[in-house]
Amino acid sequence: MTRKFEGDRLLVATHNKGKLSEISDIIAPFGVSVVGAAEMDLPEPDETEDTFVGNARIKAHAAAQATGLPALSDDSGITIDALDGAPGVYTADWAETGNGRDFMMAMARANDEINDKGPDAPRTAQFRCTLVIAWPDGHDEVFEGVMPGSLTWPIRGADGFGYDPMFIPEGLDLTCAQMSKDEKNRISHRGRAVTQFIQGCFGG
Ligand code: IMP
């Protein structure tokens, strides 16, 4: 039995503005206001696990312990078939410059590494999202969502965040950076995981 979320304010344990904005938009119709980790001055814990769920658990439990509130975290990334699932949990690391994150550089690396595999290398990939809600007593619940698609080059579109400008969801022609937030949320890994969270923790 999934534990229910009681309350009207949800702490989302992320400093990523793109994630926070997408999660807030999906949750808004349920009458819950969302507060982010930056607003609460929460530190960013080190993500020392090698799975999405492991790192999502670290972030959710750290925030629940620090605030005494139930906390929802998101660990997500992209898995590229031609690269045996890389960058996976290291998706954000590919953008690290030592002086902030550069997603243009990260996307160029993904494209170069696929090209290095030869002309027949598949360009298929998946965006993956694991959400964990943790309560201060140590209980947690896990929800997962996947969006299959392919990686295009050159990149297209100015909306979204991260690797959105190179990712075309399966069955569509637009990249995620060429869609409205609503269109992306309806089909995305995060949209699917948040919908499951709502069904599990708010459903009857
Ligand atoms: P982490 O969950 O903080 O380890 O970082 C996940 C990284 O995956 C983000 O920094 C983004 O680069 C990428 N990512 C996750 N979800 C999306 C998305 O919806 N669009 C584009 N990039 C994403």
For residue 150, how far is its CA from the centre of ligand 1 (angstroms)?
16
User: Which among 161, 183, 184 is the best mutation to test ligand 1's pocket, defined by most ligand atoms within 8 Å of the CB?
Assistant: 161
Look at residue 125 and tell me if it is in a domain: yes
Domain that holds residue 78: 9-201
Q: H-type helices in the chain, by residue range? A: 17-27, 52-67, 103-116, 181-187, 189-202
Q: Tens place of pLDDT for every residue, the chain, 204 residues?
A: 899 999 888 999 999 999 999 999 999 888 888 999 999 999 899 999 999 999 999 999 999 999 999 999 999 999 999 999 999 999 999 999 999 999 999 999 999 999 999 999 999 999 999 999 999 999 999 999 999 999 999 999 999 999 999 999 999 999 999 999 999 999 999 999 999 999 999 886
- DSSP, residue by residue, 158-192: SSS-TTGGGEEETT-SS-GGGS-HHHHHHHSHHHH
Rounded to whole angstroms, how far apart are CA atoms 78 and 129? 9
> What is the CB neighbour count within 10 angstroms for residue 182?
10
Q: Which residue out of 75, 116, 164, 182 is catalytically annotated?
A: 75
Look at residue 84 and tell me if it is in a domain: yes
Binding site membership of 164 for ligand 1 (Cβ less than 6 Å): yes
The one-letter code for the residue type at 145 is G
Look at residue 2 and tell me if it is in a domain: no
Q: Which ligand 1 atom lies nearest to the CA of residue 189? A: 19
Binding site membership of 175 for ligand 1 (Cβ less than 6 Å): no
Query: What pLDDT shows up at residue 158?
Result: 95
For residue 204, how far is its CA from the centre of ligand 1 (angstroms)?
31
Look at residue 145 and tell me if it is in a domain: yes
Please, is 106 exposed, middle or buried when counting C-beta atoms within 10 Å of its C-beta (0-12, 13-18, 19+)? Answer: buried
Look at residue 4 and tell me if it is in a domain: no
Binding site membership of 14 for ligand 1 (Cβ less than 6 Å): no
Rounded to whole angstroms, how far apart are CA atoms 103 and 204? 41
Which residues contact residue 11 at a Cβ distance below 8 angstroms, ignoring those fewer than 6 apart? 35, 37, 40, 63, 64, 67, 69, 70, 71, 72
Look at residue 3 and tell me if it is in a domain: no
Look at residue 1 and tell me if it is in a domain: no
In total, how many domains does the chain have?
Answer: 1
Look at residue 177 and tell me if it is in a domain: yes
Pairing of strands 33-36, 9-12: parallel
Q: Which two tokens stand for residue 67?
A: 């605030």
CATH number, domain with residue 164:
3.90.950.10
Q: Structure pTM?
A: 0.96
For residue 55, how far is its CA from the centre of ligand 1 (angstroms)?
13
